[in-house]
Structure 1
Amino acid sequence: MSDQQPPSGSGTPAGFYPDSTGSMRWWDGAAWTEQTQQPAPGQVAMAAPPKKKHTVRNVLLGLVAVFVLFVGGCMALIGSAANEVSKSIDKEVAKDSEPGGPDNPLTISEGKAFSVSGFDYAAGWKVVDNEFGFDITKLKVTNNRDDKDSALVEIKFMKGSEVLALTDCTTEPVAVGQTTTLSCLSGDDLPAKYDKITINDTF
Structure 2
Amino acid sequence: MASPPQPPQLFQPPIHPQQGPPKKKHTGRTVLLVIGSVFAVLIAIAIASGGGDTTKPGAGSNNPATAPAATKAVEPKAPATKVACADQDAPCVVTVGSAFALGKHQVLAGWTIKDSGIGLTIVGKAKNISDDASTMFVTVKFLRGDEVMANVMCNTGELLAGQIETMNCLPEGTYTTNFDKVTAEAAF
Give the TM-score, by structure 1 length.
Answer: 0.47
Q: 2:153–2:172: 8 Å Cα contact kept in structure 1? A: no
Deviations 1:117-141 (A, max 9, x none): 231221111100232112211x211
Alignment of 1:132 with 2:127, yes or no, is no
Q: 2:141–2:150: 8 Å Cα contact kept in structure 1? A: yes
Corresponding position of 1:112:
98
Q: CA deviation at 1:174?
A: 0.5
* Cα distance in structure 2, aligned partners of 1:202 and 1:187: 14
* Cα distance in structure 2, aligned partners of 1:177 and 1:130: 29
Q: 1:185 aligns with which of 146, 170, 188?
A: 170
Q: CA deviation at 1:187?
A: 4.0
Q: Which amino acid aligns with 1:195?
A: D
Q: 2:161 aligns with which of 152, 170, 176?
A: 176
* Cα distance in structure 2, aligned partners of 1:144 and 1:133: 30
Q: CA RMSD in A?
A: 2.2
Q: CA deviation at 1:190?
A: 2.1
Corresponding position of 1:45:
none
Deviations 1:45-104 (A, max 9, x none): xxxxxxxxxxxxxxxxxxxxxxxxxxxxxxxxxxxxxxxx9x68xxxxxxxxx62x4xx2
Q: Which amino acid aligns with 1:158?
A: L
Corresponding position of 1:157:
142
Q: CA deviation at 1:110?
A: 1.2
Q: Secondary structure at the match of 2:126?
A: strand
* Cα distance in structure 1, aligned partners of 2:93 and 2:175: 17
Larger relative helix fraction: 1
Corresponding position of 1:142:
127
Q: Which runs of 5+ in 2 are unaligned?
A: 1-53, 58-86
Larger relative strand fraction: 1
Corresponding position of 2:39:
none
Q: Which runs of 5+ in 1 are unaligned?
A: 1-84, 89-97
* Cα distance in structure 2, aligned partners of 1:197 and 1:188: 14
* Cα distance in structure 1, aligned partners of 2:179 and 2:94: 13
Alignment length (residue pairs): 106
* Cα distance in structure 1, aligned partners of 2:104 and 2:154: 17
Q: Secondary structure at the match of 2:133?
A: coil
Q: CA deviation at 1:163?
A: 1.5
Q: CA deviation at 1:150?
A: 0.4
Q: Which amino acid aligns with 2:162?
A: G
Larger RCO: 1 or 2 (CA < 8 Å, sep 6+): 2
- Provide the identity percentage: 31
Q: CA deviation at 1:148?
A: 0.4
Corresponding position of 2:183:
198
Change (3 A) 1:161 1:131: same
Give the TM-score, by structure 2 length.
Answer: 0.51
